C-alpha cells in the first residue's frame, strides 16, 4: 500500500501536469496546490480517527477527494478560464499589432514611445522604447514614478493600459487611438482600456 507521502507526491505531480496540459499553470496555482493537498491529508486523518477507518479506506477516500478536486479545477479551467485567457491574449496581440502599425506610419525617423508592454511594439513599430516598468530600460530605476520617468525621457508617444496621472506631466496629450482588450475572466476581471497619445511637450 502506498504511504501518504507517496500519495502526496503523486497527486502534486498529477495536479501540476493537469494544469500544465491546459496551459494555465500560474504562480498562485503552484503555491496553493501543496496547502490544499496537506489540508486534504489532515481531513482524511481526522475522519479516519473519528470513524475508525482502515488505512485502505482512508487512502481511497484521499484519492477520491484529490481526484474530485483535480477534475473540478481542470474542468473549470477548460470551460471558463482558458477560453477567457485565449480571448484576452488574442485581443492584446491584435490591438498591439494595430498600434505598432499606427506608430510605424507616424514614424518620421526619430520615433520615441513610452509604454509598459514593450514586446510587439518594440519589434514592429521601429521606434525607440522607453519602458515605464523598467523590464527593458534600466533607466526607469532612477525615477520614483512613471510620471517622472516619462517627463525626463520626453517621448513623442505613450501607450497606456495602466493608470498614469497625466495632470502631473507638463505636456498636452492628443489621443490618436483607443481600444478595449477583454479581461482574462477569473484571473483578471477588468478589461484593458488601451490608449495611444501623441505628446506635445511644453
SS3 114: strand
Q: What is the per-residue DSSP string for 4-61? A: HHHHHHHHHHHHHHHHHHTT---HHHHHHHHHHHHHHHHHHHHHHHHHT--HHHHHHH
Give the HSE-up count for residue 30: Cα atoms under 13 Å, Cβ half-sphere. Answer: 7
pTM across the whole model = 0.59
pLDDT of residue 177: 92
Instruction: Identify whether the C-beta of residue 155 lies closer than 8 Å to the C-beta of residue 130.
Output: yes
pLDDT (tens digit per residue) in 52-97: 667 677 667 667 777 777 777 667 666 766 666 667 667 678 888 8
Cα–Cα–Cα angle for 121, 125, 127, nearest 5°? Answer: 95
Distance CA 12, CA 168 (A): 49
Query: Mean pLDDT for the chain?
Result: 75
pLDDT (tens digit per residue) in 144-163: 888 999 999 999 999 988 77
Instruction: Name the nearest CA neighbour of 18 among 82, 85, 86, 62.
Output: 82
C-alpha cell at 169: 506631466
SS3 192: strand
Mean pLDDT, range 103-124, rounded to an integer: 86
Amino acid at each position: 500500500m502506498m504511504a501518504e507521502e507517496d500519495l502526496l507526491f503523486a497527486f502534486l505531480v498529477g495536479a501540476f501536469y493537469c494544469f500544465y496540459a491546459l496551459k494555465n499553470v500560474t504562480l498562485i496555482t503552484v503555491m496553493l496546490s501543496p496547502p490544499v493537498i496537506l489540508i486534504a491529508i489532515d481531513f482524511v486523518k481526522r475522519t479516519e480517527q473519528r470513524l475508525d477507518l482502515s488505512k485502505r479506506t482512508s487512502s481511497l477516500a484521499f484519492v477520491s477527494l484529490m481526484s474530485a478536486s483535480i477534475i473540478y479545477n481542470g474542468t473549470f479551467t477548460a470551460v471558463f478560464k482558458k477560453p477567457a485567457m485565449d480571448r484576452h491574449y488574442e485581443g492584446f496581440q491584435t490591438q498591439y499589432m494595430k498600434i505598432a502599425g499606427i506608430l510605424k506610419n507616424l514614424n518620421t525617423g526619430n520615433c520615441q514611445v513610452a509604454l509598459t508592454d514593450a514586446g510587439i511594439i518594440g519589434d514592429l513599430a521601429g521606434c525607440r522604447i522607453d519602458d515605464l516598468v523598467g523590464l527593458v530600460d534600466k533607466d526607469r530605476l532612477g525615477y520614483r514614478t512613471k510620471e517622472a520617468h516619462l517627463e525626463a525621457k520626453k517621448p513623442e508617444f505613450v501607450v497606456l493600459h495602466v493608470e498614469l496621472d497625466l495632470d502631473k506631466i507638463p505636456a498636452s496629450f492628443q489621443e490618436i487611438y483607443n481600444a478595449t482588450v477583454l479581461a482574462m475572466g477569473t484571473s483578471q476581471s477588468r478589461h484593458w482600456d488601451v490608449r495611444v497619445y501623441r505628446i506635445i511637450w511644453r
